Chains A and B, each alone.
Chain A
Amino acid sequence: MDNSNIYLPHLMEIEKITDEAPGVRTFRLKFKNEEEAEAFDFKAGQFGEYSAFGEGESTFCIASSPTRKGYIECTFRQAGRVTSGLSKLEEGATMGFRGPFGNTFPLDEWKGKSLLFVAGGIALPPMRCVIWNALDTRENFKDITIVYGAKSVNDLVYKGELEEWEKRADVNLITTVDPGGETPDWKGQVGFVPSVLEKVAPNSDNTIAIVCGPPIMIKFTFPVLEKLGFKDENVYTTLENRMKCGVGKCGRCNVGKLYVCKDGPVFTKAQLKDIPPEY
């Protein structure tokens, strides 16, 4: 570790590309170097800096579960220079990955509890990692509830996995689309995620809530969770801030005395109260 260049990416091969939604893709990546593949490990919640050589790096969470070895996955939306560059890559192409960075969801601390996942739109990827991690160790947890919504049916990501989760008896999945986003054959809920959450009213007893979504969704979801009786230390979320180095040096993601890339991206609602609102 000491003599290695923390800015030098691992070379990854794109094994599989899945189109999730308009502008949203998932890449399944494997390490080109066997030794690096062997040595690699990560925990749910961590992220990486993904390189499109020629364009730059972009920050995405590792969307696959650490219980599944031999590959990592990332999901991104085409938004700027780097993601546009990534979108041009085909299966078999080479890209870069630096990581794993950041802190993790403390799954060990959650053993024996129920889990409530609340996500919106493109924010399901960071949660997908921890959802699969939980499902792969299902015996550790009591009830698992997932409330997930997007702007429209087309914008829902991981459609295949949503079907899988729907079929499972040990998962309670509620999907919703924003009013106006439903199709004639849509069988899920219609309504914004916070209001659907209020309707579903999951039990807050011995339950951990994990919330990821655009700032506006979080803003309206937090009060609902409070109303349902969730204590601040039991509500987890991920913060997104502009990042470049991913290792706490370039200063970009610095909020108060914390670095989102080192002390986050996973934070509890209680921790958020103590840091300046600069995220």
Chain B
Amino acid sequence: MTKLVEKAASLLREGAVIKVIGYEEGSNKTRPFFCEKAEDVERLIYNGRCTNNLAVYLTKPELLGSGKVAVVATVPTMRSIAQLVKENQLKEEKFLLLTVTKEDEVVEFSGFKEMNDYLADIQLVIDTKEQELINKLDGMNREQRWAFWQQELSSCFKCYACRAACPLCYCSRCVVEVNAPQWIEPWASPLGNMEWHINRAMHLAGRCTGCGACSDACPLGIPIHLLTHKMMEDIDRDFGATFNNSGNVLSTYKVEDKEDFIR
């Protein structure tokens, strides 16, 4: 029995939480698991294959129920939680945050601040395959990049899995679901697809934490996360915010900001 399983069992038995949101083994991959009974805790696992971002469930009240909920968070999940906290979307007393270290030790955070401190020292890691794609994009000129994205996004069929998997897409009525006026075509079309993805990248500007859930979720394998990733690089350069610490950079004004049109 792993330390995680032990911890979950004791939390549930003591009634400290009404459920533990973590991961279990699925069909050839891991998947989110909502553990409500102590006898199910053996199903909880935690390893490098656990890649779903569980923060997406934390803004759904009908899933959480009433009572405290424990979350077994990976680093990308924690980054998303940190951003949700900065956007005032999560109540601290509702959640019990846990993570598991490389040595399989369970860390329980006393609150959001402790989680943030833990995160502060961890840099965003980009794996080689990703870096290759990013380098490829960087090597393109404007026309080539536009052609690249037109090509990639032409296969998009507007399933909105990217939006559904993103923890920061929590709007109860997405912009593409507003029909009066119809800002963005909801159906799949060359123009509509570009409109949607560009719009989403803009709405995530300054907020995206680089978890990659969007492109992991895309059934067609479109590298959507690169759009938001490159957006974040721009934000970093122009506004000084990073993946680790963006806060509400586009909705905050500082006296030191270099734009002077507002003075």
- Identify the A interface with B (CB < 8 A): 56, 80-81, 84
Complex Cα spacing A81 to B177, Å = 12
| B122 at the A interface (CB under 8 A) | no
Q: Is B251 an interface residue (CB 8 A)?
A: no
Distance from A192 Cβ to chain B, minimum over Cβ atoms (Å): 32
Which 4 A/B pairs are nearest by Cβ-Cβ distance?
A: A81-B180, A81-B179, A80-B180, A84-B180
Chain A residue with Cβ nearest B180: A81
Q: Closest CB-CB distance, A84 to chain B, in whole Å?
A: 7
A81 to B182, CA, bound (A): 9
- Which residue on chain B has the smallest CB distance to residue A84? B180
Q: Which residue of B lies closest to A85 (CB)?
A: B180
Interface SS, B side: loop
- A–B Cβ pairs within 8 angstroms, 6 of them: A56-B179, A80-B179, A80-B180, A81-B179, A81-B182, A84-B180
Cα separation A84 to B181 with both chains bound (whole Å): 11
Question: Hey, what's the 0/1 contact readout for B150-183 against A, CB within 8 Å counting as 1?
Answer: 0000000000000000000000000000011010
Which single residue of chain A is at the shortest CB-CB distance from B182? A81
Q: Chain B interface residue count: which class?
A: under 10
In the complex, which residues 173-214 of chain B have their Cβ closer than 8 Å to any Cβ of chain A? Answer: 179-180, 182
Residue numbers in B under 8 Å from A56 (CB-CB): 179
Q: Which residues of B contact A (CB under 8 A)?
A: 179-180, 182
Give bound CA distance, A56 to B179, whole Å.
10
CA distance A56 to B185 in the complex (A): 13
Q: How far is the CB of B195 from chain A (nearest CB, A)?
A: 18
CA distance A276 to B206 in the complex (A): 45
Contacts of B182 in A (CB 8 A): 81
Question: CB-CB < 8 A to A84: which residues of B?
Answer: 180
Q: Which residues of B contact A81 (CB under 8 A)?
A: 179-180, 182
User: B88 CB to closest chain A CB, in angstroms?
Assistant: 31
The smallest C-beta distance from B133 to any residue of chain A, in angstroms, reads 38
* Nearest CB on B from A186, distance (A): 36
* B178, closest chain A residue (CB): A81
CA distance A56 to B180 in the complex (A): 11
Whose C-beta in chain B lies nearest to the C-beta of A55? Answer: B180
Closest approach, in angstroms, between the C-beta of A183 and any C-beta of chain B? Answer: 34
- Contacts of B179 on A, CB cut-off 8 Å? 56, 80-81
| Distance between A82 CB and nearest chain B CB, rounded to angstroms | 9
Give, as a whole number of angstroms, the nearest-CB distance from A66 to chain B.
33
Q: Which residue of B lies closest to A56 (CB)?
A: B179
CA distance A68 to B220 in the complex (A): 55
- Provide the bound-state CA to CA distance between A81 and B180, in Å: 6
CA A84 – CA B180 in complex, angstroms? 9
Q: In angstroms, how far is the closest chain B Cβ from the Cβ of A78?
A: 11
**With the chains together, A81 CA to B179 CA distance in Å?**
7
Expressed in whole angstroms, the minimum distance between the Cβ of B209 and any Cβ of chain A is: 35
B181 CB to nearest A CB, Å: 8
How far is the CB of A171 from the nearest CB of chain B, in Å?
A: 40
Q: Please measure, in the bound complex, the distance between the C-alpha atom of A37 and the C-alpha atom of B142, giving whole angstroms.
A: 57
CA distance A80 to B173 in the complex (A): 15
A194 → B minimal CB distance (Å)? 31
Chain A residues with CB under 8 A of B180: 80-81, 84
B186 CB to nearest A CB, Å: 12
Task: Give Cα A80 to B179, complex, Å.
Answer: 9
Chain B residues within an 8 Å CB radius of A80: 179-180
Distance from A161 Cβ to chain B, minimum over Cβ atoms (Å): 32
Q: How far is the CB of B177 from chain A (nearest CB, A)?
A: 12
CA A84 to CA B182, docked complex, whole Å:
14
Shortest distance between the CB of A54 and any CB in chain B (Å): 11
Cα(A75)–Cα(B182), bound, Å = 25
Give bound CA distance, A188 to B115, whole Å: 67
- A48 to B180, alpha carbons, bound, how many Å? 22
Distance of A86 from chain B, by nearest CB (Å): 13
* Distance from A55 Cβ to chain B, minimum over Cβ atoms (Å): 8
CB distance from B60 to the nearest CB of A (A): 21
A126–B228 Cα gap in the complex (Å)?
51
Nearest to A81 among chain B residues (CB) is B180
In the complex, A80 Cα to B180 Cα: how many Å?
Answer: 8
A37 to chain B, nearest CB (A): 32
Distance between Cα atoms of A275 and B153 in the complex (Å): 42
Alpha-carbon distance A131/B108, docked complex (angstroms): 69
Task: With both chains docked as a complex, state the minimum distance between the C-beta of B183 and any C-beta of chain A, in angstroms.
Answer: 12
Bound CA–CA A126/B157 (angstroms): 38
Closest to A80 in B: B180
Return A96 CB to nearest CB of chain B, in Å.
18
Smallest beta-carbon distance A81→chain B, Å:
4
CA of A264 to CA of B179, assembled, Å: 28
Give the Cβ gap from A129 to chain B, nearest Cβ, in Å. 29
